[in-house]
Structure 1
Amino acid sequence: MERELDYDIVVIGCGVAGTAAALSAAESAKKEGRNLRIAILERTDYDHRGGNSRWTASYMRMKNIDEIADNFVEDMMAFSDHFSDREYIETLAENAGSTLRWVEEKGVEFDYLPTMFLTSSRPRLLPVGGGRAIIDTLSRRAGGLGVEIIYEATAWKLLLDDEGAVNGLMVRVKGGNSLQLKVGAVVLAAGGFQGNQEMMAQYVGRDAHKIRTVAEGGLYNKGEGIRMAMAIGAKGVGQFDSFHAEPVDPRSKREEAAVMTYPYAILVDKNGNRFVDEGISTVDEQYEAVARKIFYDLPDHIAYMISDQKMYNIPNYERAIETDKPAIEADTLEELAVKIGVPADQLIATVESFNAAVQPGEFHWDKKDGKQAVGIAPAKSNWAITIDKAPYIAYPIVCSNVFTNGGIASDTNGRVLSQDDDVIPGLYVAGETAGLYYGKYPGGTSVLRGLVFGKRAGEHAASYVSSDKKLGV
């Protein structure tokens, strides 16, 4: 006899991973002739749904829609210093192309669109319309198969049956009331914990509350999915004390207000001193390290990009400045220093010493050109051009949190693992709630893995709740 359920499958989170999980579960059930009740719980209202996914451009580390970038697996492993799960990454690589084709079949278009990385060293395929297009398309398709989306509802506790399988979920709805749902399986796809100041302080450390989220969607990622799973013995993986970082303009309130022209300029701290080789590599491969250095090493966690009118001669420079605030301009370096609150004498000395260190050579904005500044510390490896054509310009830059790295361990089907690496029956995880990354983030993989493992988790969850054991046969 079948036991009574409110829902066969509940997906927590309406981002790319959650919508992929719900749709794939619904499709799997339809294919098998099953009539499963599936719901997505979303803590926000309709206009804010999707967490980080809603705001991201969704770069994909792909040569094309069918082929992953060269050295995909080895790069991801190397960036993590080989702490990441190789089998998980290999599964991602093997299923990336077919998953994107699945998304395309639902109505999402992919193309090579302009990015903010003028010197990108890896291919970047994007969905037309970004992450929001994926969410809107997959959720619409899921709705057509009967999937419900319940807004302004936050899951806060998982319940287990006598055998340790997930069979219930506590949900708090708008207004504060809590209710209990009887469920067959749960897919955790609620993002990381960048919107939770207490968890940020616990894992990332001092002043973590000062790290702004890169987009509004990150504020809704409160970490309950991670905490609920850990409360029933789930294993944590990924570097909990770190996060994917991006340099942004603190004056701007818009999402991803990045300033990515600094490789053609210099960066100084609030005392007017340079602190990094701005041209050490292409910007897409080094911006995260720069952002982290600004937060962890600099006084008041702020830097300033200093340049001049020559920056405006760089083709497509506007793409690399996504802030909606104008540059701070001044006719003299002394005046610029006053405007940004940096000691004028030191800023002038820094610029003069940098100009004197710039070596002859041909400047190439679109690739590493070997045009150096030497004899100063730190030296500059590429794109060293003098700063001497007034008016001078500056942009303030701080570190933002794109997503947190720590999350829940799972197998390649998205099934959550215990501390003893046993599967916790009925519990799945995908997207940023699942831990994976350590060290340096391999760009263009986060949305991709959310889709791949969201789809796989949904398919497996549908099979699990349709099994003889779950039906009571």
Structure 2
Amino acid sequence: MGREVDYDIVVIGCGVAGTASALSAAEAAKKADKSIRIAILERADFDHRGGNSRWTASYMRMKNLDEVADNFVEDMMAFSDNYSDREYIETLAHNAGSTLRWVEEKGVEFDYLPTMFLTASRPRLLPVGGGRAIVDTLSRRAGGLGVEIIYEATAWKLLLDEEGAVNGLNVRVKGGTSLQLKVGAVVLASGGFQGNQEMMAQYVGRDAHKIRTVAEGGLFNKGEGIRMAMEIGSKTAGQFDSFHAEPVDPRSKREEAAVMTFPYFILVDQNGKRFVDEGVTTIDEQYEEVARKIFYDLPGHVAYMIGDQKMYEIPNYERAVETDKPAIVAATLEELAEKIGVPADQLAATVKEYNAAVQPGEFHWDKKDGKQAVGITPPKSNWAIPIDKAPYIAYPIVCSNVFTNGGLATDTFGRVLSQDDDAIPGLYAVGETAGLYYGKYPGGTSVLRGLVFGRRAGAHAVSYVMESKKLEV
């Protein structure tokens, strides 16, 4: 007979990738009419489950429910300077529509809801209720098919049989004791390592502990999934010294407290000087680079958006200011400078120089308008309007970590690869645990790939455990 297992398939992590894996596996088992025991292990308690996915709006780079955005594959390859795995991205593009239809069929609705991007170069489709709606719906459906979800349980070590196939898992439970599970296959869906200060320092570098996670869900992503697999010889992929960044208000405790109105105004550093072309392109294509620059290049890792009452004239400006903290307001630039701790004479000089450099032209808030500020360094390419309508406003902005880019190398079924590019038997990685991104993040692809490869890995894991059970009978 086949060996006894506690669970045939264990999925580590209860976010979009993990719940998609577990549900897909449960459906494949039902279709094959096989009794396959499946469990999800989740480090958090029920109220905090879902990792990063729980907090995200879950933007999808889709033209509609069936078609990915134009130039999907080429954009993703170009953003990575061609370091990303093309076959993986082509698989993502090919399966995105059918996967979203599968998610819709489970009860998640999708719509073109308003986003924080007042200007965007690629469309964004969203699930109604965000990532949490996906996690709740898929986990409920998985539970209905017999999947167990075990909360407050952290996997910390993979075990192998004599032939190098994954056959066990060490799991630490609440209180600190550890138990050993006998398993048939493991799907690692435990996110990246943004919640692990030591790994952040190791890979991202100095002061990485100062980069806040974009939402508290990120704090649960401590990198064990990646480490466990590396310890048994897995290959890695994705840029380990980088992460997807977003500019947020450091005063706010809420998730994704983004400030995305800066293209219409100016950004200054602690010395009151501009450091970037704020209007270089649409907000969805530039916010990450700005956030990164604030962290890597600026004293104190902080910038300030300096604007005026014209912000309130921009239609839907509230969508682009997701912080729950009010603007810092002052009647004069000197008073504003004092409130934010920036040299008053320098801030006044910066605004005066910028205003003088603004060229005539028609301002269009909703598209690149070519209205420039020239003859200053750096120049401003679009949306250059004078800052002269008091009272003046400021928002502090820091860089936050949405997710880390470094992870495990997998094939298009989510199977984790060895350094020799062989699939490690019984081991899968999906979502941010699988490395993909280098350089600039192609917005709206992360949740999408979690769902697509979660679904693929779950189905493949079932065929794998059925095969290995047959061999041992």
Normalising by structure 2, we get a TM-score of 1.00
The question of 1:224 aligning with 2:217 is answered no
Amino acid at match of 1:300: G
- Tell me which residue corresponds to 1:455: 455
Amino acid at match of 1:104: E
Distance in 1 of aligned mates of 2:272 and 2:189: 43
- Tell me which residue corresponds to 2:146: 146
Distance in 1 of aligned mates of 2:23 and 2:154: 20
- Tell me which residue corresponds to 2:358: 358
- Tell me which residue corresponds to 1:337: 337
Aligned 8 A contact 1:184 1:470 in 2 = no
- Shift of the alpha carbon at 1:121? 1.1
Distance 1:422 1:382, change over 3 A: same
- Deviations for 1:132-154, whole angstroms, at most 9, x for unmatched residues? 00000000000000000000000
- Tell me which residue corresponds to 2:250: 250
- Tell me which residue corresponds to 1:382: 382
Q: Secondary structure at the match of 2:393?
A: strand
Where do residues 283-362 of structure 1 align in structure 2 (5 Å cutoff)? 283-362=283-362
- Tell me which residue corresponds to 2:6: 6
Distance in 1 of aligned mates of 2:448 and 2:288: 19
- Shift of the alpha carbon at 1:206? 0.2
Distance in 1 of aligned mates of 2:186 and 2:391: 58
- Tell me which residue corresponds to 1:86: 86
- Tell me which residue corresponds to 2:195: 195
Q: Secondary structure at the match of 2:259?
A: coil
The question of 1:266 aligning with 2:266 is answered yes
- Shift of the alpha carbon at 1:469? 5.0
Aligned 8 A contact 1:3 1:471 in 2 = no
Distance in 1 of aligned mates of 2:137 and 2:35: 22
Distance in 2 of aligned mates of 1:401 and 1:249: 13
Q: Secondary structure at the match of 1:135?
A: helix
- Shift of the alpha carbon at 1:388? 0.6
- Deviations for 1:265-285, whole angstroms, at most 9, x for unmatched residues? 100000000000000000000
- Tell me which residue corresponds to 2:58: 58
Amino acid at match of 1:49: R
- Tell me which residue corresponds to 1:17: 17
- Tell me which residue corresponds to 2:438: 438
Distance in 2 of aligned mates of 1:49 and 1:443: 24
The number of residue pairs the alignment matches comes to 473
- Shift of the alpha carbon at 1:79? 0.2
The question of 1:411 aligning with 2:411 is answered yes
- Tell me which residue corresponds to 2:72: 72
- Tell me which residue corresponds to 2:129: 129
- Tell me which residue corresponds to 2:205: 205
Aligned 8 A contact 1:80 1:440 in 2 = yes
Distance in 2 of aligned mates of 1:203 and 1:419: 19
- Deviations for 1:71-99, whole angstroms, at most 9, x for unmatched residues? 00000000000000000000000000000
The question of 1:466 aligning with 2:473 is answered no
Q: Secondary structure at the match of 1:51?
A: coil
Distance in 2 of aligned mates of 1:406 and 1:145: 33
Q: Secondary structure at the match of 1:466?
A: helix
Distance in 2 of aligned mates of 1:157 and 1:133: 31
Distance in 1 of aligned mates of 2:24 and 2:469: 21
Q: Secondary structure at the match of 1:467?
A: helix
Amino acid at match of 1:178: S
Consecutive aligned runs of 4 or more in structure 1 exceeding 3 Å deviation: 468-471
- Deviations for 1:181-220, whole angstroms, at most 9, x for unmatched residues? 0000000000000000000000000000000000000000
The question of 1:98 aligning with 2:98 is answered yes
- Shift of the alpha carbon at 1:120? 1.1
Normalising by structure 1, we get a TM-score of 1.00
Q: Secondary structure at the match of 2:52?
A: helix
Q: Secondary structure at the match of 1:453?
A: helix
- Tell me which residue corresponds to 2:398: 398
| Greater Cα shift, 463-472 or 35-44 | 463-472
Distance in 2 of aligned mates of 1:2 and 1:377: 70
Aligned 8 A contact 1:412 1:453 in 2 = yes
Distance in 2 of aligned mates of 1:470 and 1:77: 40
- Shift of the alpha carbon at 1:471? 5.3
- Shift of the alpha carbon at 1:163? 0.1
- Deviations for 1:114-139, whole angstroms, at most 9, x for unmatched residues? 00000011100000000000000000
Distance in 2 of aligned mates of 1:256 and 1:103: 24
The question of 1:45 aligning with 2:39 is answered no
Amino acid at match of 2:467: S
- Shift of the alpha carbon at 1:2? 1.7
Amino acid at match of 1:358: V
Aligned-residue RMSD, C-alpha: 0.6
- Tell me which residue corresponds to 2:108: 108
Aligned 8 A contact 1:464 1:470 in 2 = no
Distance in 1 of aligned mates of 2:16 and 2:387: 43
> Taking every aligned residue pair, what percent have the same amino acid on both sides?
87
Q: Secondary structure at the match of 1:463?
A: helix
Distance in 1 of aligned mates of 2:334 and 2:64: 49
Amino acid at match of 2:443: G
Distance in 1 of aligned mates of 2:137 and 2:71: 31
Distance in 1 of aligned mates of 2:469 and 2:374: 69
Distance in 2 of aligned mates of 1:26 and 1:463: 12
Distance in 2 of aligned mates of 1:13 and 1:385: 47
Amino acid at match of 2:404: T
- Shift of the alpha carbon at 1:357? 0.2
The question of 1:28 aligning with 2:28 is answered yes
Aligned 8 A contact 2:2 2:469 in 1 = no
Distance in 1 of aligned mates of 2:24 and 2:191: 19
Aligned 8 A contact 2:413 2:460 in 1 = yes
